[in-house]
Amino acid sequence: MKQLTQILSLALLVLGGIITYNAAYIVKETEQVLITQFGKPVGDPIIEAGLHFKIPFIQETNIMDKRILNWDGRPNEMSTKEKTYIVVDTYGRWRIADAKQYFLRLSNERSALSRIDNILGSETRSAIANHELIEMIRTNKDREPKDLAAIEGAIGKLEPIQKGRSKIEDEILANAAPKLVEFGIELLDVKFKRINYNESVRRQIYERMISERQQIAERYRSEGAGEAAKITGSRERELQKIESESYRSVQEIRGAADALATEIYADAYNQSPEAVKFYEFKMSMEGYKSILSDDTTMILTTDSDLFKFLKSSDF
Amino acid sequence: MSKEIQFEIPESLRDIKGRLGSTLGLAAFLIVVVGGFTSFYTVPAESQGVVLRFGEYVRTSPAGLHFKIPFGIEQKYVLPVERQLQLEFGFGTPGATNLVQYSDSRADQMEERSMVTGDLNAATVEWTVQYRIADPKSFLFEVRNPEETMRHISESVMRAVVGDRTVDEVITIGRQEIESESLVQMQEIANRYKLGLSIDQVQLKDVNPPEPVRPSFNEVNQAQQQREKSINIANGEYNKVIPRARGEANQKIQAAEGYALKRVNEAEGDVSLFNAVFAEYLKAPEVTKRRMYLETMQEVLPTIERKIIIDSDASQILPLMQIATDKSK
């Protein structure tokens, strides 16, 4: 009898343990827990982390994430407004805002992601189709390329935009977020992770870039030849200028000197009729010294002043 | 009743009880040992520990030896908050301990680095993001996969920043600006989502035009060099000729000036001489004239080899004379 009581109390203890163990549950910092009773949600989701209790066996815990979750879209080929085919890769952040709704409408995270896939996929596609490519590429419409003169030969100009990347992202978010509310999902943001040309457009872009560069290269070469020709021309001009100027100066200087000398001579020799005569005489005398050389044959008569005394000593 | 139980345990049962007692003792001993071992933990110098009790955050512990309640009641996470971690985009440094440091496949890396610039050209951009876990609590509890999220943020920010620049800016002068601007934007988004990460640095690595376009970019560089070269050659030619011509011109002018001086000085000298002689001449014109004449003759005549002096009345004989001009005679 006493043994029975002993065994019974032991069994009770074990049972109590099992019940307590079942009633207690832990909510982690990263989780929220929705209590369901026979599959129906009971009360608000438990979001405070720590040790909690529920009615054992009858109530069940459903653990869901409380954190911000990641949605990583698959890269999709889409057409922009100007019919350029691009590959768009988006990502988004979301979280379970209404655990009850989420639990009722979606069985698990995989189906949640596929809902987001569908809704964001179509919203993104229509946003892309309504805008030109540049609107998805640029963000700040006021930005001007920096110091373009410093990059010689830069031909790039930033294309003008109306809205820009972040506004379009916001539009997609604004359109998609309400559609996810009924699933208890709060969409926090949508962003373009990658936008790229598809393979065939990419080739065209490369060809355009190559031709642009070649055009710049041609310009450089032609500029080089042009500049060189300009320098050669200025060299020619400068050379002619220097030489002709120096010739002119030389002639002027010499001319002035000759004129001055002539004036000096004339002033002196022309001072009186006697001076003129004397000059003539003197120059003749000096002239003889150089004109008459050793091979000159000279015939003089005794009429000459020098030899008149040869004939007679009269004077 | 309890007394009865105590006294009526048979020998065999008592035996079992004894054995049970020793088993329980062993179990208790084991529990104490295991509990003892699991209630201490060490946080390394570069790290911080985060302790949870029944899943609830209770405290953050600095580096050192710490105590926690054992048997899974308290759990700990140790995070290397001081260590700088790195994310790589468009390339990968093998051997990284950080699982999300780079994309595994080459195709993914290629996708990561190819971008469209604000002038609708293409560029390939490789970059790294250096970050630390600044707030372990946020890092653990606010966002699932914070580092993967950081990768997404980094890619989208980098593209937004590059998308606002021309391909030339991206490749040449824009690097620093891109780094600083994307750092600010990445940090801002990281803060908004409480990733618990602090970004230390964004560094651009290789930034290039796409592979097929690269030769034409090089061609531009070469053409630029070529332009400089032809300009330099032309300038060289100019410099070779012009200064020399200037010098020569100067020389000619100097020579002309020398001539001018000489000419005028000589004229003045001549005139002075003339005036001096003329002044004397005026004093006695006839005599002076005659003297000068005779002096000249004395000077001139001796040098002349052939002199014929004939009588003034016999000038008719002149044609009869054979006048030889041959000097050798």
Residue pLDDT, tens place only, A191-209: 999 998 888 888 888 998 8
3-state secondary structure A182-194: CCCEEEEEEEEEE
Residue of A nearest to B222 (CA): A217
Closest residue by Cα to residue A124 from A160, A77, A84, A70: A77
- Give the pairing of strands A297-301 and B306-310: parallel
pLDDT in tens, B71-88: 778 888 888 888 888 999
Give residue A170's pLDDT band: very low, low, confident or very high (50, 70, 90).
Answer: very high
Instruction: Answer with the residue of higher pLDDT: B318 or B143.
Output: B143
Q: Has residue A153 got a pLDDT over 70?
A: no
- CB contact under 8 Å between B246 and A242, yes or no, is yes
Residue B130 has pLDDT above 90, yes or no: yes
On the question of pLDDT at B125 being above 90, the answer is yes
**CB pairs < 8 Å spanning A and B:** 373
- Do the Cβ atoms of A92 and A189 come closer than 8 Å? yes
pLDDT of B328 strictly over 70: no
Distance to chain A for B5, nearest Cα, Å: 6
Which of B191, B272, B312 is the best mutation test for A, with the most CBs of A within 10 A?
Answer: B312
Rounded CA gap, B162 and A26, in Å?
47
Which of B17, B168, B242 to probe by mutation at the A interface, max A CB count within 10 Å? B168
Nearest to B189 by CA among A164, A91, A142: A91
| Binary contact (B193, A68; C-beta < 8 A) | yes
Q: Which of the residue ranges A126-135, B13-22, B317-326 would you say has the lowest mean pLDDT?
A: B317-326
B89 vs chain A: nearest CA distance in angstroms? 12
pLDDT score at B5: 45
Convert A160-193 to b/e letters by CB count within 10 Å (16 or more is b): ebeebbeebbebbbebbbebbeebbbebbbbbbb
**C-alpha distance from A27 to closest chain B C-alpha (Å):** 6
Rg of chain B over CA atoms, in angstroms? 58
- Record: contact B118-A249, CB cut-off 8 A: no
Cβ distance of B209 and A151 shorter than 8 Å: no
Determine the Cα–Cα distance for residues A135 and A88; give it in Å rounded to an integer.
13
- Angle formed at CA A125 by CA A120 and CA A131, multiple of 5 degrees: 125
* Average pLDDT, integer, range B123-134: 92
Residue B1 has pLDDT above 50, yes or no: no
Contacts of B151 in chain A (CB under 8 A): none
For chain A, say whether B264 makes contact (Cβ under 8 Å): yes
**Tokens found for residue B59:** 């405290």
Answer whether residue A152 shows pLDDT above 60. no
Q: Which among B174, B260, B268 is the nearest to A146, CB-wise?
A: B174
Q: What is the Cα–Cα distance from B16 to B21, expressed in whole angstroms? A: 8
pLDDT of residue B323: 58
Task: State the virtual CA torsion across B54, B58, B64, B66 in degrees, nearest 10.
Answer: -50
Question: Cβ separation of B238 and A232 shorter than 8 Å?
Answer: yes
Instruction: Identify each DSSP E strand in A68-184 by its residue range.
Output: 69-72, 76-79, 85-96
Measured between beta carbons, which residues in chain A are less than 8 angstroms from residue B5?
Answer: 2, 5-6
> Which among A188, A227, A254 is the nearest to B260, CB-wise?
A254
Mean pLDDT, residues B309-321: 68
Q: CB of B207 within 8 A of CB of A180?
A: no
**Residue of chain A minimizing CA distance to B189:** A189
The three-state secondary structure class of B329 is coil
Instruction: Check whether A160 has a pLDDT greater than 50.
Output: yes
Say if CB B120 and CB B102 are below 8 A apart.
no
pTM over 0.80: no
Is the per-residue pLDDT at B21 higher than 80? Answer: no
Confidence class for position B3, pLDDT limits 50, 70, 90 = very low
Residue B6, pLDDT > 60, answer no
Please judge whether B238 and A238 are an interchain contact, meaning their C-beta atoms are less than 8 angstroms apart.
yes
Task: Look at residue B127 and tell me whether its pLDDT is greater than 60.
Answer: yes
The residue among B228, B5, B55 whose CA lies nearest residue A31 is B55
Label residue A150 by pLDDT band (50, 70, 90): very low
First-to-last C-alpha distance (Å) of chain A = 205
Mean pLDDT of chain B: 84
The share of chain B scoring above pLDDT 70, in percent, equals 89
Q: What is the pLDDT of residues B89-122, one digit of tens each?
A: 988 888 777 777 888 788 888 888 889 888 888 9
More confident residue, A43 or A117: A117
Q: What is the mean pLDDT of residues A160-175?
A: 90
- pLDDT beyond 50 at B4: no
pLDDT tens-digit profile of A58-93? 888 888 898 999 999 889 899 999 888 999 999 999
Minimum CA–CA partner of B120 in chain A? A134
B263 contacts A261? CB cut-off 8 A: yes
pLDDT, one tens digit per residue, over B289-308 is 888 888 888 888 888 877 77
Q: Minimal Cα distance from B238: which residue of A? A: A235
**What confidence category does residue B321 fall into, taking pLDDT thresholds of 50, 70 and 90?**
low
Beta-carbon separation of B193 and A93 below 8 A: yes
Indicate the average pLDDT of chain A. Answer: 87
Q: What is the pLDDT of residues A178-194, one digit of tens each?
A: 999 999 999 999 999 99
pLDDT at B329: 40
pLDDT score, position A268: 86
CB contact at 8 A, B109 and B90: yes
Residues of B in contact with A246 (CB under 8 A): 248-250, 252-253
Which of B277, B304, B312 is facing A282, going by the closest CB pair? B277
Residue B280, pLDDT > 60, answer yes
DSSP per position, B244-301: HHHHHHHHHHHHHHHHHHHHHHHHHHHHHHHHHHHHHHHHSHHHHHHHHHHHHHHHHG
pLDDT at residue B120 in the model: 86
Q: Pick from A26, A137, A250: which is nearest to B253 by CB?
A: A250
What mean pLDDT do residues B271-297 have?
87
Q: Which residue has the higher pLDDT, A108 or A311?
A: A108
Task: Tell me what percent of the residues of chain B surpass a pLDDT of 90.
Answer: 31
Interface touch B164/A298, C-beta < 8 Å: no
Whole-number percent of chain A with pLDDT over 70: 96
Cβ–Cβ < 8 Å for A154, A148 = yes
- pLDDT band, residue A51 (cuts 50/70/90): confident
Mutating which of B59, B117, B165, B220 best tests the A interface, going by the most A Cβ atoms within 10 A? B220
